[in-house]
């Protein structure tokens, strides 16, 4: 999903930004393609971009492990609040950031048809229009070209065993000596001469440090210790980021090697590995394998000898390194923007959560469901009774519950009024939220916990949803009234349409009594008009200040409120152009805005349209008091319609929770007193996290240091006039 507007998009597509080393990148435009999400980050917060090399994909692992690992690594980077940029050569062009299709093609390609691309190979591969995986050296070269400062990999090359005779020394070491990039790896590959490699790095002026190893043990890829010591140790991501920042301030041109030991449960026995590697090296020598072919041969041989345990360790350490690199990148952004006076807090993520937990918490009232997500692997899905191959994931769901979990993870505190059964599913759902939410979730033996089964095709698109939701009726009027004190103390009540009309009426009456605004998430087009019809309507119009429908739900709400114009039955997918889509959205949303102060229309992959009787720089809430700022009711104040583009993602795992996460991010920023554009920006980033997660709610989102919390300079959106 996209943060920048049409004009800013054009500027970025024309590569109108400067790189640290090479100046205007347009001079190298024919050689380098930068993925839109990476371009945007390089423009707004370059410290947050984490480079990833691609020889792991092309030569380091067999298919499909290579593709699965590459996609998981990118998602780990996103979930930590950074931006992944996998670097490779595709058909004679340097790619900074790969699409899902490009990754898949490289992963499936015969490794003999792709070239391990280091500095020496780059001109040849590009001039011949070939494809290749960039080595550590090749990736370092490109990262420096575009201004990326943190790079995560598995293990670097080094001095080969017997290198004092053969002079076989990896170009990775030389490139590290002349490129000011921090390389986060599990040290040096075990198959190499590690003591001589460390000596060579010292000669090249490369700062080497272990990570969270007080005894200075330097890791050796598959094992947590190589027997060699690093000169220094870094105790935290903040410490590493400060070192990188100081290096930049000094103008030094050498890089860093940060050795992160792989998680202990994946570490192999050092003595066993030495024996396995010696055996593999002897076999390589017998077969006459030399040069850059040695490493992939040895890795494959080691995997075979260890019956796959080394491959498991390899995948684990790469993911762990990506996590650490992302944390360092986010800290680097926070440190350097604080120096520039942007106002980033010095508190850590944990401290920020503790601080935010002291604020009045929003109250979410709605459904709690166990989601069973079935993703069909075959490409020709038809609802014809046939048997299809699929993966099945079980996770927490329910619109209200999803929003509550997202707000808790992003904002730091929340209350949820909901209902679950007295069963294992109910206990599972309660464990996903902070303990204090348990007291406001009714547990009943009359109904099982709600369960919803979602059928997705192999592109992640939802094809069918079925479920048992009868337990939602346990959120009764009495249960609502028993939590009147909770509602009295909250800055905002958020409801979904799973709850009954009578429960809604009780909520609205309490909110009128205490002067609390309501944020309504319609949930489904068949229930979107529930609060705007029947005996609930008058109370609803008095307190609902926010509504977040999609186009179908917007049509239903407008019709219920008395919209007289013709409402087409056309589906969004069949719109011929954006002009037609936005024209209808504008007409419907302006009408609904006569009854609801803030209409936030979610348009899937297109973006979001917002209608308010105020400008985009006016916050929804006062930052100090958490008090809702009412928009003018004077008819002389015109409503403004603004459209924010969505960003196209290269890889989408699951679309089921993206809208709920958008709401979570939007509400979190709104309660913090941010202006409209930042609220949308944070909502988009939360939705991106959910789109890359297997469940409806992402395991991790981002902390307050993420650049999505900062105002964006330049045009932010399109203001829709008469269409």
As a whole number, mean pLDDT of residues 214-232 equals: 90
Taking only the tens place, the pLDDT of each residue in 158-186 is 897 777 777 888 899 999 999 999 999 99
676 is an active site residue: no
243 CB contacts (<8 Å, ≥6 apart)? 207, 209, 234, 256
Taking only the tens place, the pLDDT of each residue in 646-686 is 877 777 877 878 999 999 999 999 999 999 999 999 999 99
pLDDT above 90 covers what percent of the chain? 47
Residues of the domain holding 462: 351-719
Domain final residue pick, 279, 309, 338: 338
Q: In whole angstroms, what is the distance from residue 200 CA to residue 358 CA?
A: 52
Asked if residue 194 and residue 82 are part of one domain, the reply reads yes
703: its two tokens: 């902390």
699: its two tokens: 């395991």
- Tell me how many domains the chain contains: 2
pLDDT at 22: 35
Strands (E), 294-404: 363-365, 369-376, 390-397
Q: In whole angstroms, what is the distance from residue 687 CA to residue 3 CA?
A: 12
Taking only the tens place, the pLDDT of each residue in 429-455 is 988 888 888 789 998 888 899 998 878
Domain presence at residue 344? no
CATH code assigned at 514: 3.40.1190.20
pLDDT above 70 covers what percent of the chain? 87
Q: In whole angstroms, what is the distance from residue 629 CA to residue 639 CA?
A: 16
> For residue 275, what pLDDT band results from cuts at 50, 70 and 90?
confident
Asked if residue 613 and residue 528 are part of one domain, the reply reads yes
Domain presence at residue 369? yes
Asked if residue 386 and residue 330 are part of one domain, the reply reads no
Q: In whole angstroms, what is the distance from residue 116 CA to residue 138 CA?
A: 9
Element (H, E) at 454: strand 450-456
Q: In this model, does residue 458 exceed pLDDT 90? A: no
As a whole number, mean pLDDT of residues 35-62 equals: 88
450: its two tokens: 């709600």
pLDDT at 717: 59
pLDDT at 115: 94
Domain presence at residue 346? no
Asked if residue 291 and residue 406 are part of one domain, the reply reads no
Of 40, 53, 175, 331, the catalytic one is 53
Q: Identify which has the larger pLDDT, 423 or 160.
A: 423
Of 15, 80, 116, 189, the catalytic one is 189
pLDDT at 723: 43
> For residue 359, what pLDDT band results from cuts at 50, 70 and 90?
low
Residue 628 per-residue DSSP state: B
530 is an active site residue: no
pLDDT at 356: 41
> For residue 631, what pLDDT band results from cuts at 50, 70 and 90?
low
> For residue 384, what pLDDT band results from cuts at 50, 70 and 90?
confident
Domain presence at residue 343? no
44: its two tokens: 């707004």
> For residue 30, what pLDDT band results from cuts at 50, 70 and 90?
low
Domain final residue pick, 338, 373, 396: 338
Taking only the tens place, the pLDDT of each residue in 73-124 is 998 888 788 889 999 999 999 999 998 889 989 999 987 889 999 999 999 9
Cα 296 from chain centre: 31
Q: Identify which has the larger pLDDT, 394 or 131.
A: 131
As a whole number, mean pLDDT of residues 418-422 equals: 92
Q: Could you please report the per-residue DSSP string of 321-347?
A: HHHHHHHHHHHHHHHHHHHTT----SS
CATH code assigned at 201: 3.40.1790.10
Domain presence at residue 131? yes
Report CA-CA distances (Å) from 196 to 122, 160, 276.
27, 9, 20
Domain final residue pick, 338, 360, 395: 338
Domain presence at residue 185? yes
Taking only the tens place, the pLDDT of each residue in 132-166 is 999 999 999 999 999 999 999 998 988 977 777 77
Q: Identify which has the larger pLDDT, 615 or 539.
A: 539
As a whole number, mean pLDDT of residues 576-587 equals: 80
Asked if residue 526 and residue 384 are part of one domain, the reply reads yes
Q: In this model, does residue 358 exceed pLDDT 80? A: no
> For residue 589, what pLDDT band results from cuts at 50, 70 and 90?
very high
Q: In whole angstroms, what is the distance from residue 412 CA to residue 664 CA?
A: 11
pLDDT at 28: 44
Q: In this model, does residue 361 exceed pLDDT 60? A: yes
As a whole number, mean pLDDT of residues 11-27 equals: 34
pLDDT at 570: 53
* Average per-residue pLDDT for the chain: 84
Asked if residue 381 and residue 323 are part of one domain, the reply reads no
Domain presence at residue 345? no
Of the CA atoms within 13 Å of residue 487, those in its CB half-sphere come to 25
> 4-8, 241-245, 354-358, 652-656 — which is least confidently predicted?
4-8
pTM of full prediction above 0.75: no
Asked if residue 603 and residue 520 are part of one domain, the reply reads yes
Report CA-CA distances (Å) from 315 to 63, 70, 454.
13, 9, 30
pLDDT at 327: 93
Angle formed at CA 74 by CA 68 and CA 79, multiple of 5 degrees: 120
Asked if residue 185 and residue 96 are part of one domain, the reply reads yes
**Which among 690, 600, 627, 681 is positioned nearest to 405, based on CA atoms?**
690
Asked if residue 217 and residue 300 are part of one domain, the reply reads yes
Asked if residue 368 and residue 324 are part of one domain, the reply reads no
Most confident of 29-38, 84-93, 287-296: 84-93
Q: Identify which has the larger pLDDT, 580 or 263.
A: 263
Taking only the tens place, the pLDDT of each residue in 462-518 is 788 888 888 998 999 999 999 999 999 999 999 999 999 999 999 999 999 999 999
> 189-198, 639-648, 702-711 — which is least confidently predicted?
702-711
Sheet holding 718-719, edge to edge: 441-444, 415-421, 363-365, 493-496, 518-521, 544-547, 598-602, 607-612, 640-645, 718-719
pLDDT at 609: 94
Q: In this model, does residue 50 exceed pLDDT 90? A: yes
Strands (E), 635-698: 640-645
Taking only the tens place, the pLDDT of each residue in 402-412 is 999 999 999 98
Q: Identify which has the larger pLDDT, 167 or 11.
A: 167
Asked if residue 485 and residue 425 are part of one domain, the reply reads yes
Asked if residue 270 and residue 392 are part of one domain, the reply reads no
Angle formed at CA 422 by CA 416 and CA 423, multiple of 5 degrees: 105
């Amino acid at each position: 999903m996209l943060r920048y507007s049409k004009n800013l998009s054009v500027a970025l597509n024309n590569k109108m930004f400067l790189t640290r080393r090479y100046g205007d990148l347009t001079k190298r435009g024919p050689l380098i393609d930068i993925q839109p999400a990476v371009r945007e980050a390089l423009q707004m917060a370059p410290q947050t971009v984490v480079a990833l090399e691609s020889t792991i994909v092309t030569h380091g692992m067999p298919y499909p492990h290579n593709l699965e690992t590459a996609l998981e690594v990118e998602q780990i980077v996103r979930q930590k609040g950074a931006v992944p940029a996998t670097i490779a050569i595709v058909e004679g062009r340097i790619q900074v950031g790969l699409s899902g299709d490009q990754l898949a093609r490289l992963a499936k390609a015969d490794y003999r048809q792709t070239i391990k691309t280091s500095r020496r190979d780059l001109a040849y591969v590009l001039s011949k229009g070939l494809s290749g995986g960039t080595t550590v050296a090749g990736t370092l070269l490109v990262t420096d070209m575009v201004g990326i400062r943190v790079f995560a990999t598995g293990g670097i090359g080094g001095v080969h065993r017997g290198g004092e005779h053969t002079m076989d020394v990896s170009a990775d070491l030389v490139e590290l000596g002349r490129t000011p990039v921090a390389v986060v790896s599990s040290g040096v590959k075990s198959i190499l001469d590690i003591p001589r490699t460390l000596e060579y790095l010292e000669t090249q002026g490369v700062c080497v440090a272990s990570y969270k190893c007080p005894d200075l043990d330097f890791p050796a890829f598959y094992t947590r210790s190589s027997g060699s010591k690093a000169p220094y140790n870094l105790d935290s991501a903040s410490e590493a980021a400060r070192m990188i920042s100081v290096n930049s301030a000094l103008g030094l041109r050498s890089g860093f090697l940060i050795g992160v030991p792989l998680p202990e449960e994946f570490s192999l026995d050092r003595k066993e590995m030495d024996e396995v590697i010696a055996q593999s090296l002897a076999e390589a020598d017998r077969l006459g394998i030399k040069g850059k072919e040695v490493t992939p041969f040895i890795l494959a041989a080691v995997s075979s000898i260890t019956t796959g345990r080394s491959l498991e360790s390899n995948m684990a350490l790469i993911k762990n390194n990506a996590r650490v690199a992302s944390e360092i990148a986010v800290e680097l952004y926070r440190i350097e923007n604080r120096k520039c006076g942007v106002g980033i807090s010095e508190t850590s993520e944990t401290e920020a959560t503790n601080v935010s937990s002291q604020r009045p918490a929003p109250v979410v009232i709605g459904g709690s469901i166990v989601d069973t997500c079935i993703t069909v692997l075959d490409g020709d899905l038809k609802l014809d009774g046939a048997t299809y191959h699929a993966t099945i994931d079980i996770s927490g769901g329910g619109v209200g519950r999803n929003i509550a979990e997202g707000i808790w993870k992003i904002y730091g505190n929340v209350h949820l009024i909901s209902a679950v059964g007295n069963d294992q599913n109910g206990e599972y759902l309660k464990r996903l939220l902070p303990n204090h939410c348990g007291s406001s979730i009714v547990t009943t033996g009359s109904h099982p916990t709600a369960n919803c089964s979602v059928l997705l095709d192999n592109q992640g698109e939802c094809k069918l949803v079925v479920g048992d939701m009868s337990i939602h009726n346990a959120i009764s009027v009495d249960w609502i009234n028993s939590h009147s004190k909770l509602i009295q103390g909250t800055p905002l009540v958020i409801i979904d349409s799973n709850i009954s009309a009578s429960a809604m009426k009780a909520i609205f009456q309490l909110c009128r009594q205490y002067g609390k605004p309501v944020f309504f998430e319609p949930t489904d087009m068949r229930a979107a008009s529930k609060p705007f019809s029947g005996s609930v309507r008058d109370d609803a119009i008095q307190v609902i200040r926010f509504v977040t429908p999609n186009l179908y739900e917007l049509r239903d709400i407008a019709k219920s409120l008395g919209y007289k114009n013709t409402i087409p039955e056309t589906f969004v997918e069949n719109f011929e152009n954006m002009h037609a889509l936005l024209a209808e959205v504008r007409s419907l949303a302006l009408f609904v805005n006569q009854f609801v102060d803030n209409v936030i229309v979610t348009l899937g992959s297109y973006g979001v349209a917002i209608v308010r009787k105020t400008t985009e720089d006016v916050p929804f809430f006062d930052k100090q008091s958490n008090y809702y700022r009412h928009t003018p009711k004077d008819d002389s104040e015109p409503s403004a319609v603004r459209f924010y583009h969505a960003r196209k993602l290269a890889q989408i795992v699951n679309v089921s929770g993206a809208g709920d996460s958008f709401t979570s991010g939007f509400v979190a920023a709104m309660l913090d007193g941010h202006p409209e554009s930042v609220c949308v920006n944070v909502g988009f980033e939360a939705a991106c996290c959910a789109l890359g997660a297997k469940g409806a709610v992402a395991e991790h989102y981002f902390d307050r240091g993420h650049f999505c919390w900062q105002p964006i300079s330049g045009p932010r959106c399109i203001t829709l006039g008469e269409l």
